[in-house]
Amino acid sequence: MPVFDQLLKSDPEQVVDLFYNSGINMAATTEKEAATYLKLNHVQLVCALGFNRKIKELLDIIFTLGYESLDEFIKKRNRLFISDSYHHLSLKQILSIYDQLLNDEEQSSAFITKLLSTRISMLEHRIEKTVKPKLIENYRTEMKTIYKTGSVPVEFIDLRLKNPDSGFRALLDEVSLIVESKTISAMEVFIRDTVLPEEKRRLITKGLIPRSLIEKRLEFEDLPEPEREMLEKYLYEAD
């Protein structure tokens, strides 16, 4: 198992052994020096160690690395994770972090939502500025993985669905990813006015929306005209 994953997933005793067996002088080694001993960069070290679910049991190592408190360390961990666009952390390492984070029952949905939404917003901002194909490819994989876990907080989904003008939703076909994750029901997504007619059409085409729900939606008197036209056209062509 790679050192990064060992720090991220191992029990505290194994993490401590890893540090000592690497030859690190725990009494006089900086964070960057410790990372070098472990053949990592300092961002990998902080994030792997920081997202270990039992980080509270590794305070001796945290203090040895020069931090005065766990809170100080966690703030730096969050800042480094949010700001990295596959430069210091590989895509595989980021996905390993999600595997730990999204299945950690001790983490609140509010914290996870804030961390994810801030990181994803940062990535989208960089994509808009640089339009690098590799960055876009990694971003797409990251977002798809987040939804495939089936553990993404509903609050995060709400934030994503509240922005109907996002070109990134179309890039990802994100509404379909949300429905397929089964975090919230297809019906709940389908009746939202912030979900665009084209996005709803894709859900219908994929067989994710039953005809009965389409007919029920058409009963709404205040249904926006573009959506009404799309739904009526679908039913007409389906007959």
Encode pLDDT of 127-158 as tens digits. 999 878 999 999 999 999 999 988 899 999 99
In a domain, 98, yes or no: no
In a domain, 73, yes or no: yes
Residue given tokens 């060992």 in the structure block: 6
Q: Which helix (H) or strand (E) holds 220?
A: none
Give 28's pLDDT tier (boundaries 50, 70, 90): low
CA separation for the pair 25, 44 (Å, rounded): 19
In a domain, 40, yes or no: yes
In a domain, 138, yes or no: no
**Mean pLDDT of all residues in 96-110:** 91
In a domain, 57, yes or no: yes
Counting beta carbons within 10 angstroms of the beta carbon of residue 61, is it exposed (0 to 12), middle (13 to 18) or buried (19 or more)? buried
**Mean pLDDT of all residues in 21-35:** 80
Give 187's pLDDT tier (boundaries 50, 70, 90): confident
Task: Give yes or no for residue 167 having a pLDDT over 80.
Answer: yes
Give 20's pLDDT tier (boundaries 50, 70, 90): confident
Residue 20 belongs to what domain range?
1-81
In a domain, 16, yes or no: yes
**Mean pLDDT of all residues in 21-48:** 87
DSSP 219: T
Q: Are 196 and 164 in contact (CB under 8 A)?
A: yes
Number of Cβ within a 10 Å radius of residue 30: 11
**Mean pLDDT of all residues in 168-175:** 91
In a domain, 48, yes or no: yes
The residues near 154 (Cβ < 8 Å, ≥ 6 apart) are 109, 183, 184
**Mean pLDDT of all residues in 68-89:** 97
In a domain, 108, yes or no: no
Q: How many domains does the chain have?
A: 1
Residue 23 has a pLDDT of: 79
Whole-model pTM over 0.75: yes
**Phi, psi (5° rounding) for residue 183?**
-70, -40
Considering the chain, what is the average pLDDT of its residues?
91
Share of the chain above pLDDT 90, in %: 66
